[in-house]
Every structure is written in C-alpha cells, then in structure tokens.
Amino acid sequence: MKHWILPILTAALLPAFAGGGRAQQILLNELPVQEAPLAPSERSAESAVPRMDWSPAAPAATAEVTDMLPVLLPLRPTMPQGAETEGYRVQGQFGEARFVLFLPSAAEGAELELTTLSSINLLPEQSNIRVEVNGTTIGTIIPDNFDKAGTDALAIPGGALKPGRNVVTLRFQQVHRVFCGPDAAFDLWTHVLLSQSGIRVAPGDFGADAPGFLAAVAAQLGRGKPLVVAETTGSTDVASLSSAMARVESLFEGLPPEIEITDPYAVATTPPALARVTLLPDETSPPDLPQFRRGGDGALVLVANAAHPEQVAEVMLGAFGEGHPANPVPTLQPGTTRSLADLGVGRLVGQGHYIRETVRFRLPWDWLVLSAQRAELRLDYGFDRNLPKGALLLVKINDATVHLLPLDEDDKAGQRVETLRIPFAANMLEPGVNHLTFEALVPGDPPDEACAPRSTPIFEIFDTTTLDIPTAPSMSVARLDQVLAGLSPESVRLSEAAGEALPLGLLPRLASVFVGQNTEGPGPASLTIGVPSDLSTLGGRILGDATSTLQEAMLIAPRPEPKDIDTWAKVDGGRWWQAVYDPAKAGAIVRTFRDRLAAIWRGPQSELDAWLDGRAADAMLLQPDLDRPGNIWLILRPNLPLEKLVASLIHGGGTLDIPRGQVSLFTPDAGWQSWHSSARRLELHEPLTLDNARKVVGNYASLAPPVFIVPMLALSLVSAILAMGVMIITRRRKK
C-alpha cells in the first residue's frame, strides 16, 4: 500500500468517531430531564463520507377524512343493456332511457348530476337531452362532451322527489353534423356513466329504516361493490336464503345486483361498506329481529335470524311492495280480435331516419300452431308529407318481414290511411313472448348534410290496430323457454359440485330473474345450476353419447369467423378432368341427398354430435330427459362473469335472443344458439274431438313427419291393393 493513502483514510474516519467514546446517559421515566439530540459533526473539507441527518422524521400527513363526504345515489336502468353496469348507451336520432333512483328521504333542494360522453359526429346545436323526474320535466342538457366525460347538474324542484323509488327518464334528440339518413343514425350515440350520475346526499341522511337501507345498498352497488350477507357458516339453508334474497334483489329492477355470502369474521373492506345484511344464529338471536342497526364502521346493517332469512324479504317488500317489473308483457288471448289499446299500448310515433318500434305480447303456453293456419294484422297508420323517395316501413313478426309499405306516396301522405289487412302465417308465432315490430328506413334529403329539423313524426301507428290470432288445441312441445317461463325462485338450486366450485351468492342472483313470473305450465319446473363435471352424471335420451362433446364445448375457445373465400384460389389447381368429375364434390352431393332424405323422416333437426362440432360455450342450458321435461340444467364455467348471462335471461334483454329447444349454448358475443331434438314429442292437453282433430293432425304432421308419412304410405298401399283387386274381379266377370 502506498504511504500517502493512510493519512487520507485517517482524516476521513475521524469525524465519524468524534464523540463516540462518551458513555450514554440512562433516563428514568419519572425524571423530566431529556437529553437534547446531538448535533451532527461537521464534515471536514477533505472527507468523502456524506453527513447523516439524525433529526426526527417529519410527521406523516394526516389522512383525509372521507366518511362525511356526500354519497352519490346512482341511476339504475330498468332494463339491462348486456353486461353494462357502469354505463348506458342510447343510439340513434331519437331515444328514451328510464332509470330508477332510490332515496332515503325526499331530498329537498337536491341536484341531479348527469355525466355523459357523446359521439364526435353529434351536432350539439341541434341536439338535446330532456330530463324528467317522476314525470316532471326538470330541464334540458346539451350533449357536448366529446373528448372526455363531462357532468351537468340540474336543480330538482321541491316535491318532485319522494323517499324510496323514483323514476328518471331521459329523452334524447341527436343530429348528425355531416350526414343524414339511416346509416348516419348508427353513428349517433350518447353514453351515460351510471356510476357518476345521480343525486348526492349526506351520510347522515341514511335513516335506519327500509328506504335508507335500500338507498345505501344502491349507492354501494354504484361503487362496484356487492351486497354482503354475513352469516355463520353452516347455520343457514342456502335454498331458503336464496329465495328470500332473490325477492329483495327484484326491488332493484334491471340487472340483479351481485350478492356475496360470507362469514361475520371476514376482513373489512376499504372503503367501508355502506350497507350489509347480518344473519345471527337462531340460538343467539333476539326475539325482536329483524332490525336496522348502525355498524361499528358506519354501515347500515339489517340484522335477522339465520333460521328465518325470509324475514329480510318481509321487511323490504313490506315497505316497497313486490317490486316493479320493468316491462310487463300483456297476454293476448287467441280467438278474439285485440287492439293495441287492449294490450295497453298507446299510439306509436316514429321519428328520425331509422326507426324501430316494437310491441311485445304473450301467447298462452299451451297455444301451438305448426301447420299452415293464418293470422291477420289490421293496420291503422299514417305518414307525413314530402318524405324522400325510397322511404319504407317494414312490418315484422318476430323479426321476419311480413309486409313492406312505401312511405313516399303523395296521395296517401298526411292523412290516416284506410285500414290495411296484412295476413301472415300463424306458425311464425310461438307460445310465450312475441314481437310485432315496425321498422322505417327514410333516406336523407340531401344525404350529405345535417338533417333538417322536423316537427311532425315520420309515421304513426294508431292504437286501433288489431291482431287476430287463430285458436289452437291445447298442445305443447318440450322446449327450454317454456320451462324458464314457469320457474320461481324456490325452484332454482345448486348441484353439490356447483356448491363447492361456484360462489353461493350466484344462486340468489340468478333466482331473482324468475321473481313474479307466471308459473303456469304443463307441469312442475326446476332449474339446477351445475358445472362441467356434472355433465357425466346426467342421463336421458337427449344427451345420449354426446356428453363428452358437450364437455369439450365448455373447454375449447370459440372458432374465429370464416374469412371471405377466394373463388379464384383453386383455379388450375388440379387435373383438367376434375372440372367434369370431382370425387369430393360427388361425395358431398351424396351426403347432402342422404341428409335430406333423413330429414324427411326425422324432420330438419340434425344430430346433437354433428351440431356441436366446432361450437364453444361459456354456459349451456340442457333439457336432458324428455320424460321429465320440467327438469333443466344450467352448466356454468367457474369464474364466468355473470352479467351478460343474467341479462340474456331477463326476456332476452328485450330481444328474441333466448334459449330454446333442448340444448342451448351461450357465449357473451354470440348469445344463445339452440338445438332442437327430433325426438321431442307433442302433448295434447284436451280430449281429441272432431272439432280439433284436423288441427291436431296438422301439428303432428308438421313436427313429426314419420307419424304422418307412415300412415299415409300404409293407406296408399292398402288403397292400391284394393283397387287392383277390384280391377281383377271386374275383368273376370266381363269374361
């Protein structure tokens, strides 16, 4: 080591050892003397060791207290829109959206906050959103938030709000800034951010009563948190808990909220919960339960006896009634002419350049027409003057067009047109919910400019329009949607394997879909929720040997959509004589002929294995045994997000996309895809008479061709033999 390094190291270490040899002084608790902190030694100029700061650390900033901040009571849509829970989108030139708002009190002097984000194609100078609360217009908002979401606030006049359930209606008028026409209407949309829209109230406004509890639950759901039900493990029957909580969930309308069933000693959430349900063991429950109490974390707690969870439903339903169905579907009785007014539907007014107005009605579960009978629509309508050339009105039954009406005829414009009789095939209708749709396409005039304001509607459908549906013998055929329509919350259960693999809160959420349904049907109905491993335990004629194929459908990923086929790709790809004779094409023709011949015998349905080939599913509904058609299964993948599935079961979210047949596969993107078994049987629920014999035979011949073909062939053969016998006998007599 070089000699000049030692002096430098000595100089550098001296400050570190300065004062280090002094003994420490021990301070006793009762002595007030406290040694002052030692000042750090000054660093010598030549020292390379940094000076350490031994002074006490600065105290941490006090956490902001948020417990007393106003709580947002969010808007909840009355009809679910797919899996959307954070937002609600209104598309087109004209639209309407209805929401419910739960308040703990009347909230006088409150403001309604509406956070929106709109398409850049929207022209704000001619667009607006009219806001109504419980039927009272409180103001108009201009949708001008394009690059990011923005919030508008409207003062609510006194007396417009009430404790409990309030209805907020938004009426949209949106105009394209560049184009006009049906295509331009699809580029117009406004997104309402539900978690940031509603009314803010102070935490102290949540009273310890049913309205306060329901409002606190709604606010908690708006934060993306589930309703927590704390119960002692094993002390509560899951089935009875599910039925009670399902009825409570029905109060919220739209998409049922998520429920999390946990034990009382679970880790507290951050931020603290606003509301929860606690079920106490029967042996420790006070006699005066249920009660609303304030928890240690400030949450409103509904305390009930675990042995009687139905008390929770009694308290809530006693305060609010049995819920409010978002869109009750009226029943149309066949054999009688019923008008739209009889169905509770008023005059339909069409505005904009793409219009779709739908009337939903229900036919009885035992109404079935499969043969060639006719129904009739008597349409009373009118349309505006000076509509562009090419304007059309399409009349549809269950999304199938039955008539096309021009709206550019000047001699009929501006007046009520003479009643138009539109006959259509009655077998286009089905037992259960049906749709009568009026769809208008009006070109822009001109198409490359913003649409000119129009004060009069494009068309009107008057409430004197009538439907005449023919009567049918009381018959039914096994199908999934018929069983779903007859379910109640008590008839939904979990399989043993599903109880271990799926969260228990899933059961009341799915069961709430069937609250308040008309449970009439051919027999008892039940739904068992299972997992893919349950498929191997199911028997029945329907599944047969397809169990492994069904399990594969739950495991494989969906296939991508096929790309466009290049018709020139295989030109000159083989021998010249393959243009005349191709063995592959010849084999395909033979298979097609064979399938069509088999379809004559069994009907147009394919075999289940062939239908499942290449299909994937996140969930599936099954009717495994036709001898017990009321027992159906819902098979779910574990960890499957339930929002879209639950929304599709609520009348298909207002659409025709519902499970049918005997096997139905569900994916969030494609919805339900259904398979109908050729082995399903018709059931006649009334005596066979001369009056209904023709219709009964027609239904059998349409559904089961062998039942019709075999007797006809036998009758033809017998007739031919008799005819030949008569000819032989008469010839012998002539000789």
List pLDDT tens digits, range 460-476. 999 999 999 999 999 99
Residues 200, 103: contact at Cβ < 8 Å? no
Residue 360 sits in the same domain as residue 432: yes
In the structure, what pLDDT confidence band is assigned to residue 621 with cuts at 50, 70 and 90? very high
Average pLDDT over residues 514-537: 83
Residue linked to tokens 């199938």: 400
Rounded CA separation 452/466 (Å): 34
The 8-class DSSP code of residue 366 comes to T
> Is the same domain home to 502 and 465?
no
The verdict on residue 289 lying in a domain is: yes
Does the pLDDT value for residue 672 go beyond 80? yes
What is the CB-side half-sphere exposure of residue 424 using CA atoms within 13 A?
Answer: 21
Q: Per-residue pLDDT tens for 197-222?
A: 999 998 888 888 888 999 999 999 98
Sequence-separated (6 or more) residues with CB below 8 Å from residue 433: 329, 360, 361, 362, 651
Q: Return the number of other C-beta atoms located less than 10 Å from residue 105's C-beta.
A: 18
Same domain, 46 and 98: no
- As a whole number, mean pLDDT of residues 591-608 equals 61
Nearest Cα neighbor of 554 from 499, 622, 488 is 622
Same structural domain, 418 and 460:
yes
pLDDT at 42: 40
The mean pLDDT value for 228-251 works out to 75
Q: Classify residue 195 by burial, with Cβ atoms within 10 Å: 0-12, 13-18, 19+.
A: middle
Return the exposure string of 512-531: e unless at least 16 CB atoms fall within 10 Å of the residue's CB, then b.
bbbbeeeeebbeebbbbbbb
Residue 59: cis peptide before it, omega within 30 degrees of 0:
no
Q: Which of 628, 631, 649 is nearest to 514 (CA)?
A: 649
Q: Residue 49 pLDDT more than 90?
A: no
Asked whether residue 236 falls in the same domain as residue 224, the answer is: yes
Give the whole-angstrom CA distance, residue 84 versus residue 643: 8
Same domain, 229 and 315: yes
* Beta carbons within 10 angstroms of residue 273's beta carbon: 22
pLDDT band with cut points at 50, 70 and 90 for residue 643: confident
The domain boundary, picked from 175, 201, 227, lies at: 201
Calculate mean pLDDT across residues 177-189: 94
Q: Which residues contact 384 (CB under 8 A, 6 or more apart)?
A: 413, 414, 454, 456, 457, 458, 459
Is residue 456 domain-resident? yes
Q: How confident is the model at residue 651 (pLDDT cuts 50, 70, 90)?
A: low
At 557 the pLDDT is: 65
Choose one of 290, 320, 350: the last residue of a domain: 320
User: Residue 581: inside a domain, yes or no?
Assistant: no
Q: What 3-state DSSP class applies to 567?
A: coil
Using CB atoms within 10 Å of the CB of residue 330, give its burial: 0 to 12 exposed, 13 to 18 middle, 19+ buried.
middle
Share of the chain above pLDDT 70, in %: 79
CB 337 within 8 A of CB 466: yes
3-state secondary structure 532-564: HHHHHHCCCCCCCCCHHHHHHHCCCCCCCCCCC
Mean pLDDT of 673-695: 88
Cα angle value 337/342/346 (rounded, 5°): 125
The verdict on 485 and 630 lying in the same domain is yes
Q: Which of 210, 220, 211, 207 is nearest to 259 (CA)?
A: 220
Q: In this model, does residue 425 exceed pLDDT 80?
A: yes
Residue bearing the bigger pLDDT, 359 or 556: 359
| Whether the Cβ atoms of residue 172 and residue 266 lie closer than 8 Å to each other | no
- Give residue 602's pLDDT: 52
- Note whether 125 and 8 are same-domain residues: no
Could you tell me which residues come within 8 angstroms of residue 541 by beta carbon, excluding any fewer than 6 positions away? 625, 626, 627, 679
Instruction: Give the amino acid at 217.
Output: V
What ranges make up the beta strands (E) of 252-333? 259-262, 275-280, 291-294, 300-305
25 falls within a domain: no
pLDDT of the residue at 444 = 92
| Closest by Cα among 165, 194, 245 to 505 | 245
Residue 184 has pLDDT above 70, yes or no: yes
CA-CA distance, 253 to 275, in Å (whole number)?
Answer: 19
Higher pLDDT, 36 or 489: 489
pLDDT of residue 735: 58
Structure tokens at 337: 């002419």
- Res. 37: pLDDT tops 80: no
Categorize the per-residue pLDDT at 192 as very low, low, confident or very high, splitting at 50, 70 and 90: very high
Q: Is residue 11 part of a domain?
A: yes
Whether the per-residue pLDDT at 26 is higher than 50: the answer is no
What is d(CA 340, CA 509) in angstroms, rounded to the nearest whole number?
34
449: which residues sit within 8 A by CB, 6+ positions away?
178, 179, 180
Q: What is the pLDDT of residues 282-326, one digit of tens each?
A: 887 888 888 899 888 888 998 888 888 888 888 888 777 655 554
- For residue 170, what are its two tokens? 């938004």
Quote the mean pLDDT of the chain: 81
Looking at the structure, tell me whether residues 157 and 118 fall in a common domain. Answer: yes
Please name every residue paired with 444 in a beta bridge, in sequence order, or none if there are none. Answer: none
CATH of the domain at 247: 3.30.379.20
Residue 300 lies inside a defined structural domain of this protein: yes
Return the HEC string of 650-676.
Answer: CHHHHCCCCCCCCEEEEECCCEEEEEC
Distances (CA, A) of 141 to 153, 198, 348, 680: 9, 14, 25, 55
pLDDT for the residue 668: 85
- Dump pLDDT digits (tens) for 136-165: 999 999 999 999 999 999 999 988 998 888
User: Does the structure show a pLDDT above 70 at 624?
Assistant: yes
Residue 426 placed within a domain: yes
Domain of 608, CATH number, reads 3.30.379.30
The reported pLDDT for the residue numbered 575 is 56
Q: How far apart are CA 390 and CA 448, in angstroms?
A: 16
Q: What is the pLDDT of residue 594?
A: 64
| Cα 664 from Cα 526, distance rounded (Å) | 17
More confident residue, 22 or 444: 444
Report the half-sphere exposure of 537 (CA within 13 A, side-chain side): 12
User: What is the spatial distance between Cα 305 and Cα 311, in angstroms, rounded to a whole number?
Assistant: 8
CATH code for the domain in which residue 462 is found: 2.60.120.260
Same domain, 391 and 346: yes
pTM beyond 0.85: no
Contact 93, 352 (CB under 8 A): yes
Domain boundary (172, 201, 230) is at 201
Which pLDDT score is estimated for 391?
95
Residue 701 bridge partners (DSSP): none
Q: Do 640 and 728 fall into the same domain?
A: no
Q: How far apart are CA 138 and CA 85, in angstroms?
A: 25
Q: Per-residue pLDDT for 105 more than 50?
A: yes
pLDDT band at residue 665 under the 50/70/90 scheme: very high
Do 330 and 362 contact (CB within 8 A), yes or no? yes
Q: Which stretches within 157-306 are classed as H helix?
A: 182-185, 210-222, 238-249
**Largest Cα–Cα separation, the chain:** 153
Between 357 and 682, whose confidence is greater? 357
The tokens for 196 are: 């940031």
Direct distance between the N- and C-terminal alpha carbons of the chain, in angstroms, rounded to an integer: 148
Task: Say which range, 232-246, 357-371, 705-719, has the weakest mean pLDDT.
Answer: 232-246
Q: Residue 57 CB: number of other CB atoms within 10 A?
A: 6
Residue range 50-86, pLDDT digits in tens: 333 333 333 333 333 335 688 999 999 988 886 666 7
Burial zone of 668 (CB within 10 Å; 0-12 exposed, 13-18 middle, 19+ buried): middle
Q: Which domain holds residue 723?
A: 704-734
* 531 and 548 together in one domain: yes
pLDDT for 612 beyond 70: yes
- In whole angstroms, what is the distance from residue 708 CA to residue 652 CA? 35
Does 578 fall in a domain?
A: no
Domain count, the chain: 6
